[in-house]
Amino acid sequence: MSDRSDLLITADELAAALNAADGRRVRLLDVRWRLDAPDGRPAYLAGHIPGAVYVDLDMQLAKKGDARQGRHPLPPIEQFERDARAWGIDDGDRVVVYDDLGNMSAARAWWLLRYGGFHDVRMLDGGLRAWLASGRELESGPVHPAPGTVSLSYGHLPVVSMDEALHVAHHGILLDARAPERYRGETEPIDPRAGHIPGARNTPTTANVDESGRFLDAGSLRERFEAAGVTEDIQVATYCGSGVTAAHNAAALMIAGLRPALYPGSWSQWSQHADRPVATGDEPAEDEQHDVLRGE
């Protein structure tokens, strides 16, 4: 079971690790991306934590192709390992990821590295804002590290498929990490159908952090997810629009002491399949969930 120190690092802790004399190198990954501004490279070039390498979420943390797989299907392991080596990562390194969005995008890199078997990776709690608030400087321009030699293999964190996600929704707890208005189907800015997977419960990922973008404490997160029906003895999985912020929800669940699965295809895959049921409105009552399960 993970705790906060396994997943997160503070700005002060990062600065100390960068200056540590233990011989272990820290590789920094800048994963700035957002739905309305997917190319974070200009912001990265203008100023980033010294030594950080830019990671292109769309091109390096996903593999675009058939729309029926979703907007951000997982990249093939060969591609991901090649890119991780291009970021300069060796097997014995420490890796710290960050963004300027409360780790909403950086969590994708954190989760994918963990899924690939690289365990010494943490998110900078509070992201770039926390680094700047600590009084530390940025540098500009690109960073081109020497190629690394890291070896990766998928399967080190639990995932669910499209079929398994619906099963979890009715036999466990499936959490939808999107904004409430998208969950309810009131608006859908990018995917072909509005609504949510029947039986899913809404826990917007933005509520995982405080005003500064730092994750809430374990107890507060635990209370939040327990209010949605999550317990230690029930299967839980999470999804979002395309599998990006679902990784943030997964991290919050792990901080709370739980072991979630992630549905990588998320709503962007589900909504592409006309044969898949869609629910709208607020969370269904328990009897309505069972009606959907029976196909009524």
- Compute the distance between CA of residue 40 and CA of residue 137 in angstroms, rounded to an integer: 19
Element (H, E) at 164: helix 162-171
Q: How many CB atoms lie within 10 A of CB 263?
A: 29
Residue 284 has what pLDDT? 61
Kindly state the DSSP code that residue 282 receives in the 8-state scheme: S
Amino acid at 159: V
Tokens of 3: 């705790």
- Compute the distance between CA of residue 266 and CA of residue 288 in angstroms, rounded to an integer: 22
Element (H, E) at 11: helix 11-18
Listed by start position, the domains of the chain span 4-133, 162-294
- Compute the distance between CA of residue 185 and CA of residue 195 in angstroms, rounded to an integer: 4
Half-sphere exposure of 128 (CA within 13 A, CB side): 23
How does pLDDT run along the chain (296 residues), one tens digit per residue? 456 778 999 999 999 999 887 778 999 999 999 988 899 999 999 999 999 999 999 999 999 888 899 999 999 999 999 999 999 999 999 999 999 999 999 999 999 999 999 999 999 999 999 999 999 999 999 999 999 999 999 999 999 999 999 999 999 999 999 999 999 999 999 999 999 999 999 999 999 999 999 999 999 999 999 999 999 999 999 999 999 999 999 999 999 999 999 999 999 999 999 999 999 999 764 544 433 333 33
Q: Three-state DSSP class for 57?
A: helix
- Compute the distance between CA of residue 205 and CA of residue 252 in angstroms, rounded to an integer: 9
Tokens of 169: 């929704």
Matching CATH topology for 4-133 and 162-294? Answer: yes
Q: Classify domain 162-294 at the CATH class level.
A: alpha beta
- Angle in degrees, CA 287, 288, 291, rounded to 5: 90
- Compute the distance between CA of residue 109 and CA of residue 103 in angstroms, rounded to an integer: 10
Look up the CATH superfamily of 4-133: Rhodanese-like domain (3.40.250.10)
Residues annotated as catalytic (active site), given as ranges: 240
Residue 286 has what pLDDT? 52
Residue 235, C-beta contacts closer than 8 angstroms, at least 6 positions apart:
168, 171, 172, 173, 261
Tokens of 126: 């509070």
